[in-house]
Amino acid sequence: MHFDWSQLSSLATTFADANTLAESIPQRLTDSQTRGWQVICVTVLCSAVAQAVKIVTKLFKTGQFDWRILARTGGMPSSHSSCTMGMAVSVGLIEGFNSTSFAIALCLAMIVMYDAAGVRRHVGLQARVLNQMMTEIFSEHPRLSTERIKEFLGHTPKEVFVGAILGSAIAWLFNVWAVTHFTHV
């Protein structure tokens, strides 16, 4: 087996480049052009916190711990509103509240919140009426009268508003923490 000394030189250059990169990470984390990771973290965190609030609320109300709530829609607070407003506020804090990116994020959040409180809620109300009709019309047919369409799909305006406030607060706290934490490294 023959050892090629040029490989050792290449390896040393790679380590030197990695060291230079590692030294520049704290500065890069606070540069507004490289803080997209914060937006992603905030969006996921907002959704997780909103869903966790639903689990804890049900635990206190019923005494039952129900993990299935993580995959359900509806309830207080709206996780869709929380994560989209968290995303928008995070973008605003990073790039400025007068930036095009913030405008796009805020418009997306408004569409999602309108959909959650409007369209999805009305679809849920229609499902309730259809379920009643199925029960009444097909009462003679047990299989048909017991099938149900999911009724609780959307949110009340209050659930959407609380979700938006929760997401905004999480975004503000997370971004303040990130800037404070990474500028003092």
Asked, for residue 128, whether it belongs to a domain, the answer is: no
Asked, for residue 19, whether it belongs to a domain, the answer is: no
Round to the nearest angstrom and report the end-to-end CA distance of the chain: 45
The pLDDT score that the predictor gives to residue 166 is 96
Asked, for residue 48, whether it belongs to a domain, the answer is: yes
Asked, for residue 10, whether it belongs to a domain, the answer is: no
Asked, for residue 69, whether it belongs to a domain, the answer is: yes
Asked, for residue 145, whether it belongs to a domain, the answer is: no
Residues 6+ apart with CB under 8 A from 159: 74, 75, 76, 77, 78, 81, 116, 117
Asked, for residue 92, whether it belongs to a domain, the answer is: yes
Q: Is the pTM of this model over 0.75?
A: no
- Of 39, 157, 165, 11, the C-alpha closest to 95 is 39
The pLDDT score that the predictor gives to residue 154 is 65
Domain count, the chain: 1
What pLDDT, in 10s, does the model give residues 145-171? 566 666 555 678 888 899 999 999 999
pLDDT less than 70: residues of the chain: 1-34, 71, 73-74, 119-124, 138-139, 141-154, 182-185
Domain that holds residue 179: 38-118+154-183
What pLDDT, in 10s, does the model give residues 106-122? 999 999 988 887 766 66
Asked, for residue 62, whether it belongs to a domain, the answer is: yes
